[in-house]
C-alpha cells in the first residue's frame, strides 16, 4: 500500500509511505537504488561504508528491504519533490513482545544535490508520526556513524545519545569511528 502524507510539507515535498512490497514499482525501485548509490559514493553513512558502489552491491540489499515490507513490521517512507525521489528512510519494529514497544530507523538518506532543504528532517518527522500514531510505538532507536555530524542532526530533531561503541567501525587503517546509539522518546 502506498499513500501520500495528508499534509504537504512547506518545502514542497510529498511524503509517501510504502508498507507492502507491491507498493514499490520499477521506477521507485530504480530511484531508491540510484539515491543509495549517489549517497554512498558521495561519502554518506547509509549502510555501505566502502565506496564506490553500484547496482551489484546496492540492488540486492534494496530488494531485500522492499521484500520485507509489512504493515506490522517494516515501512518505507519516501520524500518526493518535483516528481522525483529526494530521499527515504526505513522504519522497523521487532515483533517480539519484549521489545515490541520500540522501533528503529535505518538508512536515512537524501540525494546529495537536495541536501540542506529539510528532506531529512521531514522524513524523520514522518517516521516518528507513523511509529507513534500507526504502530503504537513508544520510542525509536538508531545507530549512527560517529565523526559525520549525524549526532548533531538527530539532536536538533529531539533525539538524545544513549551510548557509544568506541572504535566499533573501521573505515580504513587509522580511521576508526564510534557507533553512536541514539533514542527518541517520547514519540
Enter the C-alpha cell of residue 101: 514497544
d(CA 155, CA 158): 5
User: The pTM is what?
Assistant: 0.93
pLDDT-based confidence at residue 12 (cuts at 50, 70, 90): confident
At 91-119, the pLDDT tens digits run: 999 999 999 999 999 999 999 999 999 99
User: What's the burial of 45, exposed, middle or buried (CB within 10 Å: 0-12/13-18/19+)?
Assistant: buried
At 55-82, the pLDDT tens digits run: 999 999 999 999 999 999 999 999 999 9
d(CA 86, CA 113): 9
Is residue 16 within 8 A of residue 123, CB to CB? The reply is no
Amino acid at each position: 500500500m502506498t499513500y501520500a502524507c495528508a499534509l504537504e510539507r512547506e518545502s514542497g515535498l510529498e511524503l509517501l509511505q510504502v508498507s507492502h512490497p507491491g507498493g514499490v514499482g520499477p521506477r521507485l525501485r530504480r530511484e531508491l537504488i540510484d539515491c543509495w548509490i549517489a549517497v554512498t559514493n558521495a561519502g554518506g553513512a547509509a549502510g555501505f561504508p566502502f565506496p564506490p558502489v553500484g547496482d551489484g552491491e546496492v540492488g540486492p540489499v534494496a530488494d531485500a528491504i522492499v521484500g520485507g515490507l509489512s504493515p506490522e513490521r517494516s515501512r518505507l517512507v519516501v520524500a518526493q519533490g518535483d516528481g522525483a525521489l529526494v530521499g527515504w528512510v526505513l522504519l522497523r519494529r521487532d515483533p517480539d513482545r519484549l521489545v515490541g514497544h520500540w522501533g528503529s530507523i535505518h538508512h536515512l538518506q537524501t540525494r546529495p544535490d537536495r541536501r540542506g532543504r529539510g528532506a531529512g528532517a521531514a522524513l524523520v518527522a514522518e517516521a516518528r508520526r507513523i511509529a507513534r500514531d500507526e504502530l503504537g510505538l513508544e520510542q525509536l532507536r538508531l545507530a549512527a556513524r560517529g565523526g559525520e555530524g549525524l549526532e548533531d542532526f538527530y539532536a536538533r530533531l529531539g533525539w538524545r545519545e544513549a551510548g557509544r561503541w568506541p572504535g566499533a567501525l573501521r573505515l580504513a587503517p587509522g580511521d576508526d569511528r564510534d557507533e553512536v546509539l541514539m533514542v527518541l522518546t517520547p514519540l
